[in-house]
Amino acid sequence: MRRGTLVFLLLLVAEASGKSPPGSPWQVLRVDSVEIRFTAADAANAKLVARHLTLDGLPISDELGLHRLPRATVFIAPDKIAFDTLSSAELPRWTAAVAIPARRRIVLKSPRWGRDSDLVWDLLHELTHILAAEATQGRPIPRWLDEGMALYFSRDLRYLKSRALSRALLTRSLVGLDEIDDVLRFHHAKAELAYQESLEAVRYMVDRFGSGVLQDLLMEIRAGSPFPTAFRRVCGVPYRLFEAELFHYWARRHRWDFLIDFVYVLWGGAVALAAIAYLLIRRRNRRLLRRWEEEEQMGGLDSWIGPPAPPDQSPDDAERSAYD
């Protein structure tokens, strides 16, 4: 039996029983009510996950009004077979990690093979999804709000530095907030835009309505209010008016952000040209010094053999005149 198939079967057994069966590759580390499952090769990564569950996970739970970590399992998938099996869903190729709130499960790619992943950012991102579902007791929230909170609390620099929003403003290709519900069907560039819009929408909400707005909104949804009703009660403005205000703010604030990248390119080009010019000048100077050295050597040889004969004398006449 191939090793990949054996791992696949062991994963299924572990999933069904909730425990690691005899001979299973999984090891277990616990942080409060969260269980981290990993293979021996990811022991150091598991300790890193445990550390950030305590350092960052608990503060996020406080921000969302839970004040504890819910019961959940975090898997560090040792390979793609394990990741696909534990995810149990068709995911786009650009997916770096996945949360399954109904199963209280987070699946992370091991950094040993997940080149597009960052273990800490991905952990906090997916943990926020679990916490948000816990805060609303499973009642649905818009995808932009869910993803925006996940990016906001994970402090993911990959999206904080993105210029996708600025480029979309320039080309008039913004994604409506409601369209973000279908983000898993988007190609990578459109998904990046959707995620950045989600992050910027949440950041604007916190700036506009205060730091407690997210917790209050989730509690209102938990109480049974549909999202538009909950939004108006908590924020004091209709949701559609907020969206229009948000897009207008983006147009003023972010339209020219893409020029920052352009400036960096110009600076990079200038530095490259300066480096090339320096190398060329250095090469020219070396040639010039070499030529001078050759001329000096020739000059020393001329003084040793005597001055050249005058033009109206032959070499023999010059030699005779030297003895006169």
On whether both 26 and 92 belong to a single domain, the answer is yes
Asked if the model's pLDDT at residue 263 lies above 50, the reply is: no
Contact 78, 25 (CB under 8 A): yes
Q: How many Å apart are CA 111 and CA 75, to the nearest integer? A: 13
> Is residue 187's pLDDT more than 50?
yes
Same domain, 14 and 39: yes
**Could you say which of 214, 237, 254 is where a domain stops?**
254
**Residue showing tokens 């972010």:** 254
Residue 294: pLDDT band by 50, 70, 90 thresholds? low
Residue 244 sits in which domain range? Answer: 141-254
- The answer on 92 and 204 residing in a single domain is no
> What's the domain count of the chain?
2
Token reading at 303: 């003084």
Residues 198, 111 share a domain? no
Asked if pLDDT for residue 190 goes beyond 60, the answer is yes
Structure tokens at 182: 């279908």
119: nearest Cα among 213, 186, 46, 172: 46
- Residue 295: pLDDT band (50, 70, 90) is low
Residues 242 and 148 in one domain: yes
Report strand pairing: 27-31 vs 34-38: antiparallel
- Judge whether 273 lies within some domain: no
With 90 as the cut, is the pLDDT of residue 238 above it? yes
Q: Based on the fold, state whether residues 153 and 41 are members of the same structural domain.
A: no
